[in-house]
Amino acid sequence: MDGITPDLLALQLFTGLALGAIYVLLALGMSLLFGMLTVVNFAHGAFYMLGAYAGVLLLSIGVNFWFCLLLAPLLVGSLGLLCERFLIRHLYGRGIDYPLLLTFGLSYIMVEMVRILFGTQGLPFDTPDALQGASDIMIGYFPTYRLFVIGVAIVVVVALWLFLERTPYGLIIRAGARDPQIVRILGIDVARVWLVVFGIGTGLAALAGLLAAPLQGASPEMGSSILAEAFVVTVVGGMGSLVGAVVAGLLVGVVVAMTSLVAPEFAQVAIFALMAIVLLIRPQGFFGRAGLMS
């Protein structure tokens, strides 16, 4: 393996972190939904895809990219709110499989709607002008946009952490996750809390999709393949654990990037091999609570 220099490795590490940043955003939303609502969102990939298409739509009516970053998650998050309010809410307490199956059905509808509205072909998505080109990061030149993706992920993670740990709303959400009944007794409308959490989770998925769009374009199928990868991240990190989502997301991103450097054809398979190893050694994932699933 000549031609692989330390610098190249370091650059590839950054590529992995940028990819990992997308995984982190997806897995955060997923873990949030599972940790708080015990809903496994099989439509998470579809919300991710909707994020990219919301970006396409907004850009086409002349909204600039920076507002898109704010508006697209808001739009898709509102759709998530509607789904929770009118469909998923009825399934709480009816076992863990039903929300899963329902969201799976929803993903079919969403993907097909996008195909009807935007066509079955994928659409290109231009990198915003300000973020084109490459920046010097001491070890070499690295695409500015990927740096930007890492930056956004850091901001979102910090903001989410502050929101959950340092605000009264975050306190309610955490309390609702631990014991919804007591929270209800204290006079708080838990249903509304869950609604908001669902909106945040789907909004995060949309943000991930929007950020990924300039890297790979927007296509109706983009969500279904990343769904499996997001599952791997949540399993490796530990279901319901936000720290786990961040650590595992970055790890999976780096593993993919490194494998594609040595053996590109095995990049996809490496993710699943990683998951298999983690499951054998630590079935509950890095930060998962043992026995939570049984």
Partner 1 sequence: MLNPLLVARCKQHRVVLAIAFLIIFPLLMPFKAIAVNILIYGLFALGFNMLFGTLGLLSFGHAALFGGGAYACGLVMLKLGLPWYVGILGSVLAGMLIAATIGAFAIRTRGIYFAMVTLALAQCLYFLADQATDLTGGENGLRGVDLKTIQLPGMTLNFVDPLTRYYVVAFFVAVALFVLSRILASPFGAVLEAVRENEARARACGYHVRMVRYLAFILSGGFCGLAGALQALHLSIVPLETLAISNSGLVVMMSLLGGMGTFFGPFVGAGIFLLLENLVSLWTVHWQIFVGAAFVACVLFFPRGIWGTILMGRGR
Q: List b or e across 221-232, with b for residues whose CB sees 16 or more CB atoms inside 10 angstroms.
A: ebbeebbebbbb
Q: Alpha-carbon torsion 159, 19, 81, 89, what sign?
A: negative
Q: How far apart are CA 176 and CA 194, in angstroms?
A: 8
Which of 12, 15, 31, 107 touches partner 1 (CB under 8 A)? 107
Which of 7, 9, 64, 112 touches partner 1 (CB under 8 A)? 112
Instruction: Kindly tell me the burial class for residue 244, based on how many C-beta atoms sit within 10 Å of its own C-beta (0-12, 13-18, 19 or more).
Output: buried
Considering the rule CB under 8 A, would residue 272 count as an interface residue with partner 1?
A: yes
Binding map of partner 1 across residues 48-87, x = CB under 8 A, - = no contact: ---------------------------------------x
Considering the rule CB under 8 A, would residue 94 count as an interface residue with partner 1?
A: yes
Stretch that binds partner 1, among 14-22, 111-119, 166-174, 244-252 (CB under 8 A): 111-119
Coil, helix or strand for 136?
Answer: strand
Q: How far apart are CA 51 and CA 259, in angstroms?
A: 28
Which of 71, 85, 92, 115 touches partner 1 (CB under 8 A)? 115
Bridge partners of 134, per DSSP, are 143
Which of 10, 63, 74, 104 touches partner 1 (CB under 8 A)? 104
Q: By CB under 8 A, how many residues form the interface with partner 1?
A: 47
Per-residue tokens: 201: 């989770």
- List residues binding partner 1 (CB under 8 A): 34, 40, 87, 90-91, 94, 96-98, 100-102, 104-113, 115-116, 224-225, 227-228, 231-232, 234-235, 239, 265-266, 268-269, 271-273, 275-276, 279-280, 283, 293-294
